[in-house]
A and B are shown apart, each in its own frame.
Chain A
Amino acid sequence: MNRLRRTMMYVPGNNPGKLQSAGIYGADSIIFDLEDAVAVTEKDAARDLVASAVRDIRYPCEVAVRINHISTPFGHDDLRCILEAKPDMIRLPKAEYPEEIKVIADLIGRAEAKYGYPAGSIKMMASIESAQGLVNACAIAKADPRMAAIALGGEDFIADLNTTRSADGAELAYARSQIVVAARVAKIHAIDSVSTILNDDEAFLREARMIKQLGFDGKSCVHPRQVELMHKVYTPTAKEVAQARRILDGIKLALERKSGVIAVDGKMVDGPIITRAERIIAYAAVVGMNKEDADE
């Protein structure tokens, strides 16, 4: 686990001030948006602005660019302009078929060769925003080795289902689970939809805990406050870390003694528990909770 994507924060591509300061809020990734946040009349200006930000500013996090879909008049222009500046990742909205991923992956590969960037250094992610996309989620997630994450685009998806957003998000339950399954099959990150909750920390935290429980690795965010709250939810507690360490120590001891059955805190430890403990320790190391673990 060498990169976290707990938070992927959208930054409108047409706002120079926000582009400049995008890195200060501690998001794991920032996504410069050329799609929904930018009016049709502003597309070309935003594209140039984002390209220069990506090229000239050293951000302390992963830098992704959400391009317009390649079926629109803007998608290919976005790629032409942005790839030269070498973002870390291209995010495709409204993905429906794996072929779309292959087309973009191919363009990225050519750009890497043309500009002398290491092959495979520009990653991809796609967001599922329709029933058609969800049916193909697994194929989309596995479409190309560049794919690093698959996300849910909740608002468009809900519209496509002919329903509306509710407080408990029942209408997204199936899609959320499906996206997590697709991500796990492809061994990439699962990223939840943006939340429209801006002024109610408790409600946002409930949603964050719920999607963590579903298995998501992170969430697209629209406000710095959401970044902070997400990280709070996704940071393992000291108790969880201590317990995970006891489990791994128990395993080590059992292996040394060649003992068959392993029990920690009076409970039998088996494969899934060990996997979970290893994940917690690795996570704690990445977020800097245990400096000694990170050094090991």
Chain B
Amino acid sequence: MSNEAKRNLPDFIEGYGPVKPYRGPFATAPSGRRSGGKIALDVPHSEKLLRSIDQAIEAVGLQDGMTISFHHHFRSGDHVPGLVLAAIARKGIRNLTLAPSSLHENSDILIPLLEQGVVTAIQTSGGRGEVGRYITHGRLAKPTIFRSHGGRPRALASGELVVDVAFLGAPTCDIYGNINGVHGKSACGSLGYAMVDAAHADKVVAITDNLVQQPIFPISIPQDQVDFIVEVDSIGDPAKIATKVLRFTTDPRELLIAQRAAAVMEHSGLFQDGFSFQLGGGGASMAVARYIKEKMLAHKISGGFGLGGIGGVFAQMMEEGLFRMAFDAQSFDLAAVESLKKNPNHLEISASQYANPHTKGPLVNRLDMVFLGATEVDVDFNVNGLTDSNGMVMGASGGQSDTAAGAKLTVVCAPLLRGRLPIVRERVHTVVTPGETVDVIVTDYGVAVNPRRQDILARLKDSPLEVMAIEDLQRKALELTGVPDSVPVSDKIVGVVEYRDGTVIDVIRRPE
């Protein structure tokens, strides 16, 4: 069968189940009730604080075949999964499904646990490094399920993803289980991704290196969602959890792309007082902020809110009165952590409030514009941020498809070429974000507008930007690189890419 993104899918995937094909960004109406964790009884004056992770594993009754989760707010400085999984392995528990909100570069430590069969399935946002290769080579028992940042809280709330135990790194935790991320030596800022685990997992274990007396303020995850607390020496490496402030790229090519993306915004018709925006990861899309600021000052325009991952650059713009609010599901650097702590207009939000499509109001639906990075785009404006041009899992779904669906204007920033590889392709290897939700592609060689957006096209044609057909961009790329061979793939499905609504937008097949 073929879905709306023109991808061929089987009706049933072994280890995944029946396939609901993607039918369009808002074509699938949900039904049913919200699913939560198990109800519980806390006897007065009982003790939540346990002596060790080992004891916590026993207390929550972790068994073979269960699903456990972690958050990814500690980025590559995270010590929690290593500590917990080592303890689990020692106990001889096997066949777990690992369902973290995302996996970072430091996830290579998982490889021995995957090889020993401690973990045999993964459901997450993306995979990098050795884990990305492990997944792509089909070495897990089940295909890995990739969900967006909005799709994961949706799956938790719908009961499609049931987490038996969430092990949550807590930068500050009081003795009754209230948690925040702004205090303590391992402060990471917003705990937006951890909040949904706390709300939906059957059992929640807080692991902290800053245990304090009750109560704390602010409270990001409340005591009524936390079963047990374990104190350890270190939950992460502060230097890698949050760098001082994320600097703009100095790469002239990325700056050129960022400058053009800001010009797209300027001429889009949406650049008005009160406008809202989000920046995705990646050098070029992050650098857009610099040029947006210049244009806001030049045109005397002030913005409404910034959303998603918030960095010090945005926090600074808020301090300067350029924006009114920040909605922060993930703080990118220490400057953002400080801002979240001090600035009352800097609000912490959960991943569900941020992007869950099956709620009564995800914030992505109020976005005017979003600037995203990509590993590949194609002539149908489909975007891939998950696999590279060789079909290897090396990125993440992230908030890409969520923001693209919600924003009035979705701008994807990418170089036309990376090394010898064309980035504007006939077909992306993996569709993460469907082309019908993507409006403009900005490259170093020119700008292409989705023909669905004749309104934007008309406006940009009157601007100094060089607007061309996406096919012309592709031709330019191929002129320089020649036509690359397609990546031959086997029939074995190693990854299932869910759209944010839980339908399947693409599958990842093992390269031959």
Contact = CB atoms under 8 A, between A and B. Distances in A.
Interface of A: 17, 20-21, 24-25, 57-58, 223-225
B275 interface: no
B445 interface: yes
A24 B480 contact: no
Nearest to B479: A58
Most B CB contacts (10 A, CB to CB) among A17, A21, A57, A223 go to A21
B252 A223 contact: yes
Interface in B347-386: none
20 contacts: A17-B419, A20-B417, A20-B480, A21-B253, A21-B417, A21-B444, A24-B253, A24-B256, A24-B444, A24-B445, A25-B252, A25-B256, A57-B480, A58-B479, A223-B252, A224-B252, A224-B255, A224-B256, A225-B252, A225-B255
Contacts, number: 20
Contacts of B444: 21, 24
A223 B417 CA distance: 20
Interface SS of chain A: helix, strand, loop or mixed?
helix
Contacts of A225: 252, 255
Most A CB contacts (10 A, CB to CB) among B256, B417, B445 go to B256
Nearest to B253: A21
Contacts of B256: 24-25, 224
A223 B250 CA distance: 11
Contacts of A223: 252
Most B CB contacts (10 A, CB to CB) among A17, A24, A223 go to A24
A57 B479 CA distance: 8
Nearest to B476: A58
Nearest to B445: A24
B437 to A, nearest CB: 27
A17 B420 CA distance: 9
Nearest to B257: A24
Closest 4 CB pairs of A and B: A224-B252, A24-B444, A24-B445, A21-B253
Contacts of A24: 253, 256, 444-445
A258 B202 CA distance: 96
A204 to B, nearest CB: 15
Interface in B242-269: 252-253, 255-256
B480 to A, nearest CB: 6
A58 B478 CA distance: 12
Contacts of B480: 20, 57
Contacts of A17: 419
A225 B251 CA distance: 11
